[in-house]
Amino acid sequence: MRFIYIIIIVLFISPVTKADEGMWLPFLLNDKQIEQMQQKGLEVPFESIYSHSAPSLKDAVVSLDNGSCTGEFVSSSGLLLTNHHCGYNEIQQHSSVNSNYLHEGFWAKKISEELPNPGKTATILIEAHDVTARILESLNGLKGEARQNTIDSLSSIIENEAIADNQYEAEVKSFFYGNTYLLFLTQTFMDVRLVGTPPSAIGKFGGDTDNWMWPRHTGDFCFFRVYSAPDGSPAEYSKDNIPFVPRKHFKINLNGISKNDYSMTLGYPGFTQRYLSSFGVEEIKDVINPVVAEVRGIKQGVWDNAMKESEAINIKYAAKYSESSNYWKYAIGQNKALDKIDVIAKRKQQEKNFQEWMEQDSTLSNKYGKTLAVLEASYLLGRKLTLAETIAQETMLEGPDLVKFALEISSLSMELNSLKKGSEEYKHLYTESVMAIGDMYKDYDPEVDQQVFNKMLGYYLENTTESLRPKTENLLGKKYQEDTAAFVEMLYSKSALGSYDKVLELISEGEKALFEDPAIAFSYQVLGHLYQMMDIHKKLNQQYEEAQRLLLKGYMQKDDGFYYPDANSTLRLSFGKVSDYEPKDGVRYKYLTTLNGIMEKEDKEQDDFEVPSKLKELFRKKDYGQYKLKNGKLPVCFLTDNDITGGNSGSPVINGKGELIGVAFDGNWEAMTSDLAYEEKLQKCICVDIRYVMFIVDKLAGAQNLMDEFDIVN
């Protein structure tokens, strides 16, 4: 099948952009934008950054775990650099009281010591193609479900055609709310092994206290290695697999950075909504974020108390706590930032301007006249549903493990019971199920979880309108409808899900026994009502989606501008510069932090600010080797104004020569609206300086085997 390579989409005319805003699809950048990058400091040909066919830096950048993070190859033997928090689950899974890699760190001294991680993946972009015309020509006059069904059918045909003569994966993705469609061919590697990580006192230094904050002193990095079958193709873990040889890997620059130096990121940002209406932003601010912040705060309080009392529980819950607290703090910070930079008022003004522009032309009025009214009505009608869905999601599906276990284990059991016992297929699935259940219970403490369930159930019942949840009598039974604590006690004592051994017995029994289990019966009642709400919401959203698509099409027509699409876990390029910033009156933050700041923050009374003894010794001796600044200090983190969001974690930060100068890992507190709006003066990308990474690998870990792999530029 022949494709036309993407150069530019006809909707996009003007290349003018403001400041350094933009998560650009690199294959859509035109000559004038590339010229703008060169004026800012890009020295190498753009084809060395992105090329459709020749090896380029896009081949050195991978999407980890279906877009949760980004990583980059830093050797010709598949060595992959990403964030410590992107490998946190794997580090935690390999940790125990006797070998606590979270606390001590881990460094494989040879290939045979690298640790496999079932389920972890690394995906490389092979090609991208524009299929907009082919899809849109079949959608004339179609709306709602009929339109989506046609899109799904055509996408499936296009994807199957694209992989008919190769071993790639194909996916058609929508952009600009369904105004544009692109086909992506990718290759996913399933054998990704942990190679090295600093202790959490380095990789997570500052913890929740410093999360989303500047100045920052966190060595947020770790290393994996991607393995392939002997022929270079993706393969599940096997002792016969070999280190993957990427088409391109990054050279590491130790010359350092200066203020206003060119900087660029390549990565896989997950999800933004920068063209969302004011009504949508208001719903996030007033309905969703307050629930997320409050519920996660309650849950984390239970976890925190238990983690402080037991090292074993601390290890079990470390990854869960880290993931939950990240979004908890984000919800709080985003609401503060929305107020500070007045996003809703600005969005309302944009909509007013659009309305006035549209009303000047009857053709435009006929085409776009109802969009804003439909959007407003959709959000108004769906507000109560959004609240109930968010509460159910946070208290139940993201709350106690018992509910998650109930849904996952029942699904496994039903799949098993659909097969003939004793068959090879049954045996294979049973073995996989046992392993999956074992992974669940490895990080589970029933007493802690029961405390969480008590808190979450109380919140769910008190804050959800009974018409939008199961009736209390039905959910708890007459005996317990006035005593939720007694209900929870009964649930945890009588459900087979409280015990790993009992679960193994349950999954091989029939469906009747499965749904007689009280935890599973409870969970399905909650889930059933949630699905009912979502089904009602889906019907409302059919009108919303059409209106949102038309609104964005209208914005592009009105502004005649070169827009970048919202993030959706596809490869994006952002370019800008290394820079200071001023978060408020009288305060100016410098772009660079050093090891001195770590020592200044050390607090033996706070786990977040523990400093490893060996790092303190290196600081005392000023033993920084080739990684020190001219003033004798050791760089740790720096700031750029690159435009990033979740999913960009681990993205390479690149200089004008196309060399690696850092690893992106966070944004700043004052600009936490980044998923909804770019803030030109405040938005910053927080990066680990590559010199600090190399210093830790070389001087603290003594991992000469890794140092020998790096392609270092001095």
The pairing of beta strand 79-82 with beta strand 69-73: antiparallel
Decide if 399 contacts 519 (C-beta within 8 A).
Answer: no
Decide if 270 contacts 646 (C-beta within 8 A).
Answer: yes
Tokens 């303190």 identify what position? Answer: 616
Cα 160 from Cα 152, distance rounded (Å): 12
Cα 482 from Cα 489, distance rounded (Å): 14
As beta bridge partners, residue 638 has 592, 687
Decide if 416 contacts 426 (C-beta within 8 A).
Answer: yes
CA angle 650, 654, 660 (to 5 degrees): 75
What lies within 8 Å, CB to CB, of 386 at 6+ separation is 283, 287, 288, 537
Decide if 674 contacts 272 (C-beta within 8 A).
Answer: yes
Decide if 480 contacts 416 (C-beta within 8 A).
Answer: no
DSSP secondary structure letter of residue 599? H
- Residue 278 appears among annotated catalytic residues: no
As beta bridge partners, residue 206 has none
Residue at 11: amino acid letter: L
Nearest to 315 by CA among 634, 118, 115, 102: 102
Among candidate residues 220, 401, 445, 643, the one labeled active-site is: 220
Cα 257 from Cα 349, distance rounded (Å): 40
Residue at 267: amino acid letter: G
Cis bond before residue 26 (omega within 30° of 0): no
Cα 430 from Cα 419, distance rounded (Å): 10
Residue 34 main-chain phi, psi, to 5 deg: -65, -40
DSSP secondary structure letter of residue 330? H
What lies within 8 Å, CB to CB, of 508 at 6+ separation is 413, 416, 417, 421, 430
The pairing of beta strand 712-713 with beta strand 252-253: parallel
CA angle 31, 33, 36 (to 5 degrees): 115
- Residue 613 appears among annotated catalytic residues: no
Residue 174 main-chain phi, psi, to 5 deg: -90, 145
- Residue 493 appears among annotated catalytic residues: no
Decide if 668 contacts 641 (C-beta within 8 A).
Answer: no
Is the dihedral angle over the CA atoms 635, 260, 210, 291 positive or is it negative?
negative
Among candidate residues 85, 94, 129, 217, the one labeled active-site is: 85
The shares of helix, strand and coil residues in the chain, as percent rounded to the nearest 5, are 50, 15, 35
Among candidate residues 95, 174, 433, 649, the one labeled active-site is: 649
CA angle 42, 80, 24 (to 5 degrees): 40
Decide if 260 contacts 577 (C-beta within 8 A).
Answer: yes
Cα 509 from Cα 99, distance rounded (Å): 37
What lies within 8 Å, CB to CB, of 106 at 6+ separation is 91, 94, 115, 194, 196, 197
Q: How many CA atoms lie less than 13 Å away from 272 in the CB half-sphere?
A: 28
In this structure, the chain runs to a length of 714
What lies within 8 Å, CB to CB, of 191 at 6+ separation is 116, 226, 227, 228, 234, 235, 236, 237, 238, 241
Residues carrying an active site annotation: 85, 220, 649
